[in-house]
Structure 1
Amino acid sequence: MLAGVLALGSACYAQDIEVEPVVLDPSFEVAPVAFEDVEIQTISLTDSSAQAAAYGDACCNYDVGSCRNCCAGDGLAGGGWFVDGWISQGYTANFDHPANNFNTPMTFNDRADEYQMNQLYLAMGKNVEEESCWSLGGRVDLLYGSDYFFTMARGLETRQDLTRHWNGDGPRAAGEAALYGLAMPQMYGEVYAPIGNGLKVKFGHFYTIIGYESVMAPQNFFYSHAYTMQYGEPFTHTGALASYTAGDHLTLHGGVTNGWDNFDNPNGQLSALMGFQYATDTSSLSYSFINGKEDIDGLNNRFLQSLVYTRKLGSRWTYVFQSDFGLEENGKLDANFESDTAYWYGVNQYLFLKYTDTVDLGLRLEWFRDEDNARVIAVPIEAFSTGGNYYEVSLGANWRPYDFVNVRPELRYDSSNINLLGAQGPYNNFMDKQMWTASFDVIFKF
């Protein structure tokens, strides 16, 4: 498939319980969970210099710049062909021991008190050469594991009615989806044009440029993910995205896509995906947004913006601030059962410390406001659900005893004021308003 592209160039919680979207007038659809990239590059999985870079070092995903376009090693240099991969597997202990064995509304490491093989990941392709001539490249990513369920795209892994194309049945989605399956989160071609300081155009299926955290396990400090990433943002797009180098520090992005996690958009409309990144040796500021109609009938506009700021604090500390804001027209029913706009927004803060050459420490503080309960529990009906605040605090470490191994222990506390039809809270199978988890995973790169 990739060779064909190059030859041509030469010439959610809501997901776990599968809540049916509320039908409004005009109708709307609760989108599946989604994810990102500012110009996705792969990680050289055998380059010791790349692995030695820590959260206080330059050019690491959680340091200066986007978490989606750093940590590239020698395997990506020179525009040659590459094959990279890893396996991420872990265990999450839930202090409540929920009877259904799910840590919902937590996704990705969503299974309680049992082993998970989250990602067996393979990326292959050819990098464009950013020189004074035209260059062609492309990439295909395959993900097998429990994370497949959260990265599926409509029209690719699923049909238009969201039934699965090739993954089987199991305990997810009310018994309709297997614990483990296969997804193809990226499949795109890329062209480099020697226009001005350099123009790159990506066309196909690719990760989003929105947000900070990534689907790809090695590009995150924590094993678990923030609510913002899990429920507030898309994961993938299908379309075209151009990136232009406007100077030594500024990169501009712009394109059109099929919207949030759509390989094939059922309403036939396109969404605008735009952004920029300004990066220096010590700090980075990136802004991105997506705007378009995401419902089946193509009537209701959805808008999301994300701002990410990173700053090095001396030689050992790094601070990251993220703020998202999203809305969808006719995305909820108010107390009178009339259609109204749904909102979600939040703030994430990260602090990383390079403790030793092989150990990094990290803290994540998050407040996520699902004001109308349209994103997490996906019951945007004011008469049935109230509240909307989610808080989480995560303490973690990264231990890299070898260049190809990263061990990520984590302690996490979640709380929420959600009330849903008399349920006691969103945790422990709707029995609690708070949740404690202790987890770890091990990433082996090859």
Structure 2
Amino acid sequence: MNRTRTIRGVVWIRLVAGVALIGLLCTANARAEDPDPATTTTTTRRHHHHHVVTTTTTTTTEGPNEEQRLNALSGQVGNLQKQQDDTTSEVKKIEAAMVVAPPAANVAPVTIGQHVGQDETNIAAIQKNLTDNLGISVHALVDAGYEHNFNQPTANVNVFRAWDEDGFQLTQGNLHIERDGTVGFVTDINVGQVANSISGVTHYSNVVPVGGQWIDATQYYLTYTAPLGSGVSLEAGRFVTLLGAEIIPVYNNQNFNESRGLLFNLGEPLTHTGVRASYTFNDYVSATAGLNNGWDDPAANSNAGPNYEGELTLNNKDKSLSLVINGIWGPNAVPGPNGKQVSNSNLGAIDPIGTWKPSFVPNLTLQAEYLYASQEGPVINGHSASWQGAAGYVVYDFNPALESATRAEFFDDMDGARTDGEAQTLWEITQTISYKIPEVTGLIARLEYRHDNSSQNAFTNNNFINPVTGAQHLWHGQDTLAANFIYAF
């Protein structure tokens, strides 16, 4: 693309030079047609011991005849026109080579652009065939990359980070299948590190929890639109939580940052099993309400009743300003005496999220989230627990392809219920640069730096082990640098 701009710049320079030459020749012509010869007077002043000597010289100049000037001008214009035609032809060839398009029919792809174009055409044909014949939409997302933790932690584990680890990794592979209509369904199947983390928390893959698995059916629920008012959207099955500014990514909905924040990892549920109803009252107000089995674990169906969830969304006409208030409350099973589960422990959370896109700064998005949650005992050390946190996002799009996202947050685990039993306050700051590759639709490259810190020595380092006790030296913080590619269609 830089070469194309350079070539076009050369064309403009030549045209400007041609116009300047024409103007110069016309000026010379006007002077030649003047009946009086031009007279030039040169005055030389020499200063030497206060004596001044003045010399005057008069020169008369005659220009070429009119026919010679016209012939020279005609030749220059012809040369400029030929150079412009040659340059335009070269620019067209370069632009044609840059276009990502499939090859002609019955012609094998040769360039990388042709291979990419053919793959996109094949995928689009499959999607159209499924949509036309079955009413089904199929999409996918792949997120892979490399991350380096400067602490070199044990077993490559980034402490308090569930969605990424040190080294090369398949962060997420997602297959999204849905059917729209009066009656439909949604299915999201995840593989990779994201699936491992989700299944390790929710245990949906096994009746008896055995830890993380590398495949997880994150969502599978039925949908029905009841003909009431503008239409009541009903869902029944397993779905992701309403809480949180960040989400489990799918092909058309991704987070600003590559890694998940502290609130998402430590403070909020991931999924629920139950029923939901959503209704849009007008352009400014919508609401969702539901009943479910509680936070994450569907096997905990011995609760003393369902959990109640709700969401209220308020926004202005153009959606540049919005406030989303999420909440959940209900009994959840917790370990009791002798390891027995007790189901009368009420767990609740409130989670308002505000978003502002100021009109006086185009392409800027500001977002803030606050979370407060508490759970009745015995949760930790025989008593109840509570935690809270806040997160802020500053996102700026320099152009449609380049985006900067800065996240800052803190998480206060006042009783240690969410951070391995040790009361502590965590904070982190993350800077992410995302670039949409222009030659391939749906391909994003990301570079991210993140620093985590704790009020306690909570982060492991593989290089420091006490030679007497064999215990690892723990640090207050950790720094990571990640590079990822995301492809979605």
Please tell me whether the aligned partners of residues 202 and 271 of structure 2 are also in contact (alpha carbons under 8 angstroms): no
Output the amino acid matched with 1:391.
W
Q: Which runs of 5+ in 1 are unaligned?
A: 1-73, 129-134, 165-176, 380-384, 419-423
- What's the secondary structure of 2:209's corresponding residue? coil
- What's the secondary structure of 1:297's corresponding residue? strand
| Partner in structure 2 of residue 293 of structure 1 | 331
| Partner in structure 2 of residue 238 of structure 1 | 273
- What's the secondary structure of 1:216's corresponding residue? coil
| Partner in structure 2 of residue 158 of structure 1 | 206
Please tell me whether the aligned partners of residues 154 and 265 of structure 1 are also in contact (alpha carbons under 8 angstroms): no
| Partner in structure 2 of residue 367 of structure 1 | 410
In structure 2, what is the Cα distance between the partners aligned to 1:236 and 1:118? 19
CA gap 1:108/1:154 in 2 versus in 1, 3 angstroms: closer
In structure 2, what is the Cα distance between the partners aligned to 1:80 and 1:352? 36
- What's the secondary structure of 1:298's corresponding residue? strand
In structure 1, what is the Cα distance between the partners aligned to 2:300 and 2:379? 22
CA apart distance, 1:360: 0.4
Q: Which residues of 2 match residues 202-281 of structure 1 at below 5 A?
A: 202-216=235-249, 219-268=254-303, 269-280=305-316, 281=318
1:92 and 2:143 matched: no
Output the amino acid matched with 2:254.
Q
Please tell me whether the aligned partners of residues 221 and 408 of structure 1 are also in contact (alpha carbons under 8 angstroms): no
1:115 and 2:168 matched: yes
| Partner in structure 2 of residue 16 of structure 1 | none
- What's the secondary structure of 1:195's corresponding residue? coil
- What's the secondary structure of 2:475's corresponding residue? coil
In structure 1, what is the Cα distance between the partners aligned to 2:268 and 2:131? 31
Output the amino acid matched with 1:121.
N
Please tell me whether the aligned partners of residues 175 and 190 of structure 2 are also in contact (alpha carbons under 8 angstroms): yes
2:431 alignment partner, one of 381, 390, 395: 395
CA apart distance, 1:90: 1.5
User: Could you report, residue by residue, the CA deviation over 1:311-335 in whole angstroms, capped at 9, with x for unpaired residues?
Assistant: 00231211000000000111545xx
Moved more, 434-443 or 319-328: 434-443
In structure 2, what is the Cα distance between the partners aligned to 1:107 and 1:318? 26
- What's the secondary structure of 2:296's corresponding residue? coil
Output the amino acid matched with 1:259.
G
| Partner in structure 1 of residue 177 of structure 2 | 124
Please tell me whether the aligned partners of residues 459 and 478 of structure 2 are also in contact (alpha carbons under 8 angstroms): no
| Partner in structure 2 of residue 142 of structure 1 | 189
In structure 1, what is the Cα distance between the partners aligned to 2:353 and 2:202? 28
1:407 alignment partner, one of 445, 449, 452: 445
Structure number, greater radius of gyration:
2
1:198 and 2:231 matched: yes
Please tell me whether the aligned partners of residues 122 and 141 of structure 1 are also in contact (alpha carbons under 8 angstroms): yes
In structure 2, what is the Cα distance between the partners aligned to 1:107 and 1:238? 22
User: Could you report, residue by residue, the CA deviation over 1:79-105 in whole angstroms, capped at 9, with x for unpaired residues?
Assistant: 942001011111111111123211112
1:345 alignment partner, one of 371, 383, 388: 388
Please tell me whether the aligned partners of residues 140 and 174 of structure 2 are also in contact (alpha carbons under 8 angstroms): yes
1:189 and 2:236 matched: no
| Partner in structure 2 of residue 28 of structure 1 | none
CA gap 1:203/1:297 in 2 versus in 1, 3 angstroms: same
Please tell me whether the aligned partners of residues 371 and 389 of structure 2 are also in contact (alpha carbons under 8 angstroms): yes
Runs of 4+ that moved beyond 3 A:
74-80, 426-430
| Partner in structure 2 of residue 11 of structure 1 | none
Asked which structure has the greater RCO (Cα within 8 Å, sep 6+), the reply is 1
| Partner in structure 1 of residue 481 of structure 2 | 438
| Partner in structure 2 of residue 425 of structure 1 | 458
CA apart distance, 1:284: 1.2
User: Could you report, residue by residue, the CA deviation over 1:108-132 in whole angstroms, capped at 9, with x for unpaired residues?
Assistant: 01x21x111011110112123xxxx
User: Could you report, residue by residue, the CA deviation over 1:119-158 in whole angstroms, capped at 9, with x for unpaired residues?
Assistant: 1110112123xxxxxx111111111112112212656312
Please tell me whether the aligned partners of residues 331 and 374 of structure 1 are also in contact (alpha carbons under 8 angstroms): no
Please tell me whether the aligned partners of residues 223 and 440 of structure 1 are also in contact (alpha carbons under 8 angstroms): no
TM-score w.r.t. length of structure 1: 0.71
Identity %: 24
Please tell me whether the aligned partners of residues 310 and 321 of structure 1 are also in contact (alpha carbons under 8 angstroms): yes
1:103 alignment partner, one of 146, 158, 165: 158
In structure 2, what is the Cα distance between the partners aligned to 1:222 and 1:204? 29
Over the aligned positions, Cα root-mean-square deviation in angstroms equals 2.3
In structure 2, what is the Cα distance between the partners aligned to 1:101 and 1:142? 25
CA apart distance, 1:341: 2.1
In structure 1, what is the Cα distance between the partners aligned to 2:448 and 2:298? 34
Please tell me whether the aligned partners of residues 285 and 312 of structure 2 are also in contact (alpha carbons under 8 angstroms): yes
User: Could you report, residue by residue, the CA deviation over 1:43-67 in whole angstroms, capped at 9, with x for unpaired residues?
Assistant: xxxxxxxxxxxxxxxxxxxxxxxxx
Output the amino acid matched with 1:393.
I
Output the amino acid matched with 2:248.
V
In structure 2, what is the Cα distance between the partners aligned to 1:263 and 1:82? 28
In structure 1, what is the Cα distance between the partners aligned to 2:313 and 2:473? 40
CA gap 1:369/1:427 in 2 versus in 1, 3 angstroms: farther
Please tell me whether the aligned partners of residues 276 and 286 of structure 1 are also in contact (alpha carbons under 8 angstroms): yes
CA apart distance, 1:199: 0.5
Output the amino acid matched with 1:405.
L
CA gap 1:370/1:155 in 2 versus in 1, 3 angstroms: closer
User: Could you report, residue by residue, the CA deviation over 1:16-40 in whole angstroms, capped at 9, with x for unpaired residues?
Assistant: xxxxxxxxxxxxxxxxxxxxxxxxx
Number of residue pairs the alignment of both structures matches: 334
